[in-house]
């Protein structure tokens, strides 16, 4: 489940496979809030960072 979500986030952000998502954190949170799925996306990012 988490792997699929990470792949979806990479697709949304156009981040190459294997590249660190940390530099994209701020943009991801901002985009997620605008998209409306922000809470789940932020939760997934939080899980990825831990």
CA angle 44, 33, 40 (to 5 degrees): 25
Mean pLDDT of 9-31: 65
Number of domains in the chain: 1
Mean pLDDT of 7-18: 65
Mean pLDDT of 3-25: 66
pTM above 0.85, yes or no: no
CA 27/CA 3 separation, integer angstroms: 20
Q: Residue 24: what pLDDT?
A: 66
The predicted-structure confidence for 23-47, as pLDDT tens digits, reads as follows 667 677 766 667 666 677 778 888 8
**CA distances, 12 to each of 3, 6 (Å):** 14, 10
Please give the residue range of the domain that contains residue 30: 2-49
Locate 32 and state its tokens: 């997620």
């Amino acid at each position: 489940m988490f792997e699929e979500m990470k792949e979806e986030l990479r697709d949304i952000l156009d981040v190459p496979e294997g590249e660190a998502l940390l530099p994209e954190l701020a943009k991801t949170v901002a985009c997620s809030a605008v998209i409306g799925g922000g809470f789940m996306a932020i939760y997934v990012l939080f899980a990825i960072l831990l």
